[in-house]
């Protein structure tokens, strides 16, 4: 979402990082030369995120890794608002196959990136970094029963929308992928307001982790 991108950009600006505006294919992007990372808006939902990720991958061959970063709803009680979750695997929870008993699609995060992020997480002082599954599907989870069921089915720590779309594009293009999410709400009846209230702190913490990781 544009808000997620804006808050991430503002956090980088506060850290004194210079920006270079550019266009890759048909998408505007912001490049941070000091870190050699490029920030783009992925769009809302798995399909849109997959489309725009694939467009970027096809328009340039310079990608070492794709990171899906944004807010998420917490599915377990020991998460605090602003905590960051690095997805060891992204589980596509709304892949509703009724013909057979195949497991839900799962996309493992890039092992090398996860190892580096575990090291970077040690220096995070104002928030916790957790490692575990992230549930991905085009569904707003705002009920306690659905929250509990989703955790039970996927073992995920948080739920969000777009990750599986990006993971599929990266798998298709053989580019490493990892999803990083900040907790904005508890996937309950207060989630619609809590998401917007807490999005800035979640994205600031994601930016803190990513800049620490890439900057080392």
Instruction: Establish if 7 belongs to a structural domain.
Output: no
For 20-71, the pLDDT digits (tens) are 999 999 999 999 999 999 999 999 999 999 999 999 999 998 899 999 999 9
The number of folded domains in the chain is 1
Give bridge partners of residue 158 from the DSSP assignment.
74, 134
Instruction: Establish if 174 belongs to a structural domain.
Output: yes
Residue range(s) defining the domain that contains residue 101: 65-215
Q: pTM score, two decimals?
A: 0.96
Longest dimension (CA), the chain: 53
CATH number, position 166: 3.40.50.1580
Say which residues have a Cβ less than 8 Å from residue 209's Cβ, sequence separation at least 6. 84, 117, 120, 121, 124, 129, 180
Question: What does the alpha-carbon distance between residue 204 and residue 188 come to, in Å, rounded to a whole number?
Answer: 23
């Amino acid at each position: 979402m544009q808000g997620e991108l804006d808050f991430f950009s503002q956090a980088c600006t506060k850290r004194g990082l210079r920006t270079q505006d550019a266009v890759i294919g048909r998408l505007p992007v912001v490049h941070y030369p000091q870190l050699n990372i490029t920030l783009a808006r992925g769009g809302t939902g798995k399909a849109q995120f997959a489309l725009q990720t694939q467009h970027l991958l096809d328009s340039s061959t310079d990608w070492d890794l794709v990171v899906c970063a944004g807010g998420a709803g917490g599915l377990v009680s020991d998460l605090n608002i602003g905590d960051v979750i690095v997805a060891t695997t992204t589980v596509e929870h709304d892949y509703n196959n009724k013909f057979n008993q195949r497991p839900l699609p799962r996309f493992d995060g890039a092992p090398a990136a996860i190892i580096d992020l575990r090291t970077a997480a040690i220096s995070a002082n104002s928030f916790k970094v957790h490692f575990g599954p992230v549930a991905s599907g085009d569904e707003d989870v705002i009920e306690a029963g659905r929250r509990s069921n989703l955790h039970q089915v996927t073992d995920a720590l948080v739920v969000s929308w777009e990750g599986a779309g990006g993971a599929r594009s990266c798998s298709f293009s053989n580019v490493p992928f990892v999803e990083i999410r900040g907790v904005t709400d508890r996937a309950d009846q207060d989630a619609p307001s809590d998401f917007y209230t807490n999005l800035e702190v979640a994205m600031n913490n994601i930016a803190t982790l990513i800049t620490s990781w890439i900057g080392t």
